[in-house]
């Protein structure tokens, strides 16, 4: 009996871990096939986060896909074992060397890809950025560079896991509306066609940087703002392609379909569009009045929902393009115009520029930044200014300041900054976290870090303790297990063996499917 129970326990443990492996593989397969929203990470930022702190921030925000504008080895090392997928890039000034030498390309792959994969999940290499339109003299060397990199991946047996492509400006597509009449700039065809054939052959995506913001700014009065921001439209405001009668409710879908029609004109129909950049600036100069926090919030929030709704485009409703938002942080070191430094979702210190409204869009950006923010006092503010703000908040502002009274949970530490932070968060919550409700004449700031401490729980905190008790079936005789006839034990044993064989078969089948997929 004891030996049988031991065997039974071992089999149950084996079954548990086998089932977990099968579930994990299946889940990973499903996730890899779904459209996603990623984030571009520029680094022209004062006091840019250390690689370790950057990765910690990405994890706290549930960001699963990023694109770097280089192959920063420190960041790639910090990303190891995180399951965050990353697109690494080759800057424009390195294309000539890589395209001119197979040895240089192989060395680049060895140093920046092989050294990190698979601990760091590198999924693609973006070669240059808008090369055909920004440095056209490098166009002849672009495809040779991509071919050399691909061949180096083949030599390392990584060519099916890591794709090679190059991001293009939307301007390579002419007459983009109606989409059915779009075509690639004829002066670029000698470069674009073989490049598309390479993408088709290697099953790589066409990378496009698509900005409805610029379409709107260049066509004010023709393209409605609502179309650019994914806002609901009346039928009369929908854009209709007269050749296909397809209705377009937003500019981004029209731009994506214009790329598909342009490829179709060149008999390329099996390359998918990956939007490597899109976004909306939150601040601009007098010439950019539509670069506002409200519009940036609306565009990016609706963009995220649009991707996760998986509705595709009018031309390809079965195919939803993944997108990378431009960008994670405001790059304050960038030059004019003002909008150049204000495309980020967050400031360089990791506080949000605005509150995205993405509830219901999975776990992206910590599920919903509107549920993950708090208002606290800014560091380094002088005592008098902070005290005045605290007095107003607990007085005319009518915040609930009872918890910072002597003897209450948030009284200590007994200092103005701590009390002001609690009062500010109380006011911020009461105001529904509305824009401008965490200013207090410049001494309040929004943070995604819960400021609660000890027994002091801030008003905006969602802290809760959930204890789940797991009941484990007893093996005592009183449970009835010891009263079963020997035949019951034999049947149990046969049943367990049957289940074990089934699960082993599932694991083998799943791995075979993975291998077959990679082979394809």
What's the pTM value of the predicted model, to 2 decimals? 0.70
Residues 440 and 312 in one domain: no
| Token pair belonging to 379 | 């560091």
pLDDT of res. 158: 96
Same domain, 193 and 155: yes
Residue that wins the pLDDT comparison between 98 and 516 = 98
Burial class (CB in 10 A: 0-12, 13-18, 19+), 56: middle
- 45 domain-assigned: yes
Q: Is residue 426, in this structure, part of any structural domain at all?
A: yes
Domain boundary, last residue among 326, 346, 366: 346
- Given pLDDT bands bounded at 50, 70 and 90, which one contains residue 25? very low
Give me the pLDDT at residue 400, please: 92
Give CA angle at 202 (276, 518), nearest 5°.
100
Q: Identify whether residues 138 and 51 lie together within a single domain.
A: yes
Residue 114 has pLDDT above 80, yes or no: yes
pLDDT at 379: 79
269 and 154, same structural domain?
A: yes
Number of structural domains the chain divides into: 2
Digit-coded pLDDT (tens) for 61-83: 889 999 999 999 999 999 999 99
User: In angstroms, rounded to a whole number, what is the distance separating the alpha carbons of residues 249 and 230?
Assistant: 7
Which CATH number covers residue 100?
Answer: 3.20.20.80
Residues 56 and 161 in one domain: yes
364 lies in a domain?
A: no
Q: Can you give 434-464 as a three-state secondary structure string?
A: CCCCCCCCCCEEEECCCCCECCECCCCCCCC
Residue 463 confidence class, pLDDT cut points 50, 70, 90: low
Residues 303 and 443 in one domain: no
pLDDT at site 480 = 35
Which helix (H) or strand (E) segment holds residue 39: the answer is strand 37-41
**Residue 487 falls inside a structural domain:** no
Active site residue 277: yes
Average pLDDT over residues 122-140: 95
Query: Would the CA dihedral through 240, 246, 247, 250 be positive or negative?
Result: negative
Across the chain, mean pLDDT equals: 84
In-domain check, residue 123: yes
Same domain, 141 and 273: yes
Is a pLDDT exceeding 50 seen at residue 485?
A: no
Catalytic residue among 277, 331, 403, 429: 277
Same domain, 320 and 407: no
Residue 504 reports pLDDT greater than 80:
no
Percentage with pLDDT > 70 across the chain: 79
pLDDT for the residue 232: 80
For residue 520, pLDDT beyond 70? no
State whether 441 and 339 are in the same domain.
no
At 492 the pLDDT is 53
Of the ranges 130-134, 220-224, 486-490, the best mean pLDDT one: 130-134
Indicate if 143 and 265 belong to the same structural domain. Answer: yes
Residue 314 lies in a domain: yes
Query: What range does the domain containing 409 cover?
Result: 374-463
What does each C-alpha distance from 319 to 151, 210, 257, 312, 359 come to in angstroms?
29, 17, 11, 5, 23
pLDDT band at 464 (very low <50, low <70, confident <90, very high): very low
* pLDDT, mean of residues 219-246: 86
Has residue 20 been placed in a domain? no
pLDDT of residue 460: 81
Instruction: Extract the runs of DSSP E, i.e. beta strands, from 128-221.
Output: 163-165, 168-169, 173-174, 183-184, 206-209
Per-residue pLDDT, 355: 78
Same domain membership, residue 205 and residue 90: yes
- Domain for residue 427, yes or no? yes
Mean pLDDT, range 424-450, rounded to an integer: 82
Same structural domain for residues 420 and 325? no
The pLDDT tens digits of the residues spanning 354-410 come to: 878 775 555 556 544 445 678 888 877 888 899 999 999 999 999 999 999 999 999
What digits encode the pLDDT tens for the residues 134-182? Answer: 999 999 999 999 999 999 999 999 999 999 999 999 999 998 899 999 9
- Of the chain, the percentage scoring pLDDT greater than 90 comes to 61
Task: Say which of 31, 44, 130, 327 is annotated catalytic.
Answer: 130
Q: Say if residues 49 and 61 touch (Cβ distance below 8 Å).
A: no
């Amino acid at each position: 009996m004891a030996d049988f129970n031991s065997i039974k326990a071992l089999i149950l443990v084996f079954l548990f871990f086998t089932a977990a492996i099968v579930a994990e593989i299946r889940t990973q397969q499903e996730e890899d096939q779904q459209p996603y929203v990623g984030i571009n990470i520029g680094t022209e930022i004062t006091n840019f986060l250390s690689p370790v702190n950057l990765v910690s921030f990405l994890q706290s925000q549930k960001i699963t896909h990023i694109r770097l504008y280089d192959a920063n080895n420190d960041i790639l090392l910090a990303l190891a074992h995180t399951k965050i997928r990353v697109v690494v890039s080759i800057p424009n000034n390195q294309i000539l060397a890589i395209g001119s030498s197979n040895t240089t390309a192989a060395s680049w792959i060895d140093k920046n890809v092989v050294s990190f994969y698979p601990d760091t999940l590198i999924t693609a290499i973006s070669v240059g950025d808008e090369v055909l339109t920004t440095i056209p003299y490098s166009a002849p060397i672009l495809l040779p560079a991509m071919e050399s990199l691909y061949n180096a991946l083949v030599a390392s047996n990584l060519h099916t896991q890591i794709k090679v492509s190059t991001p293009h400006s939307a301007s390579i597509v002419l007459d983009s509306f109606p989409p059915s009449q779009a075509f690639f700039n004829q002066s670029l065809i000698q470069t674009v066609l073989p490049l598309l054939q390479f993408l088709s052959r290697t099953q790589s995506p066409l990378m496009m940087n698509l900005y409805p913001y610029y379409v709107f700014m260049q066509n004010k009065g023709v393209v409605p703002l609502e179309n650019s921001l994914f806002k609901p439209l009346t039928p009369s405001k929908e854009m209709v392609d007269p050749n296909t009668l397809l209705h377009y409710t937003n500019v981004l879908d029209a731009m994506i379909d214009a790329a598909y029609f342009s490829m179709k004109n060149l008999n390329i129909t099996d390359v998918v569009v990956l939007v490597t950049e899109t976004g909306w600036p939150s601040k601009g100069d007098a010439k950019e009045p539509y670069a506002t926090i409200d519009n940036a919030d609306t565009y990016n929030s609706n963009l995220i929902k649009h991707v996760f709704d998986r509705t595709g485009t009018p031309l390809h409703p079965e195919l939803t393009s993944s997108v990378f938002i431009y960008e994670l942080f405001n790059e304050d070191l960038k030059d004019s115009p003002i909008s150049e430094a204000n495309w980020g979702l967050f400031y360089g210190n990791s506080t949000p520029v605005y509150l995205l409204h993405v509830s219901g869009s999975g776990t992206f950006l910590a599920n919903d930044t509107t549920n993950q923010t708090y208002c606290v006092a800014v560091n380094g503010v002088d005592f008098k200014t902070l005290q005045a703000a605290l007095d107003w908040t607990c007085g005319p502002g009518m915040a609930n300041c009872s918890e910072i009274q002597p003897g209450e949970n948030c009284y200590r530490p007994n200092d103005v900054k701590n009390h002001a932070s609690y009062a500010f968060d109380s006011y911020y919550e009461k105001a529904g976290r509305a824009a401008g409700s965490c200013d207090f004449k410049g001494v309040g700031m929004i943070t995604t870090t819960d400021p609660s401490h000890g027994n002091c729980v801030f008003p905006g905190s969602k802290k809760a303790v959930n204890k789940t008790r797991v009941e484990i079936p007893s093996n005592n005789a009183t449970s009835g297990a010891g009263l079963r006839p020997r035949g019951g034990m034999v049947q149990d044993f046969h049943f367990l063996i049957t289940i074990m064989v089934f699960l082993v078969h599932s694991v083998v089948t799943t791995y075979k499917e993975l291998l077959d997929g990679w082979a394809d």
